[in-house]
């Protein structure tokens, strides 16, 4: 993760990121948004501002996101637009 600024809440193990937030996952997924809250203890993150993401399967733009299980599961919230890469869908 990268951001212009961040505030770490030590006791709660929370990290608040603001300004050009980028989230990268080993599986090739990359997300960009204006702000995010990271729960380090739970391995979760969330944001309620527009987000755009891309990965091996395609791209998505939505109004927010919820990331669970250290990135194994990502839920895009609000209105969303998904574009799948046809080549990645073939068995």
Find how far residue 75's CA is from the centre of its chain.
9
The label of the residue with tokens 């951001």 reads: 3
β-pairing, 14-24 vs 30-39, is antiparallel
The domains found in the chain, sorted by start residue, are 5-89 (2.60.450.10)
Considering only CA atoms, which of 54, 15, 22, 57 is closest in space to residue 37?
Answer: 15
Predicted TM-score (pTM) of this structure = 0.86
- Kindly give the confidence (pLDDT) of every residue in the chain, 91 residues in length, as a single tens digit, with 9 standing for 90 and above: 999 999 999 999 999 999 999 999 888 889 999 999 999 999 999 999 999 999 988 999 999 999 999 888 999 999 999 999 876 555 5
Classified as helix, coil or strand, 28 is: coil
């Amino acid at each position: 993760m990268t951001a212009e600024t961040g505030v770490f809440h030590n006791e709660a193990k929370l990290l608040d990121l603001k300004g050009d937030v980028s989230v990268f996952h080993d599986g090739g997924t990359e997300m960009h948004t204006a702000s995010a809250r990271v729960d380090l203890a739970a391995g979760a993150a969330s944001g309620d501002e527009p987000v755009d993401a891309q990965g091996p399967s395609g791209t998505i733009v939505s109004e927010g996101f919820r990331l669970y299980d250290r990135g194994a599961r990502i839920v895009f919230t609000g209105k969303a637009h998904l574009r799948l890469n046809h080549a990645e869908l073939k068995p």
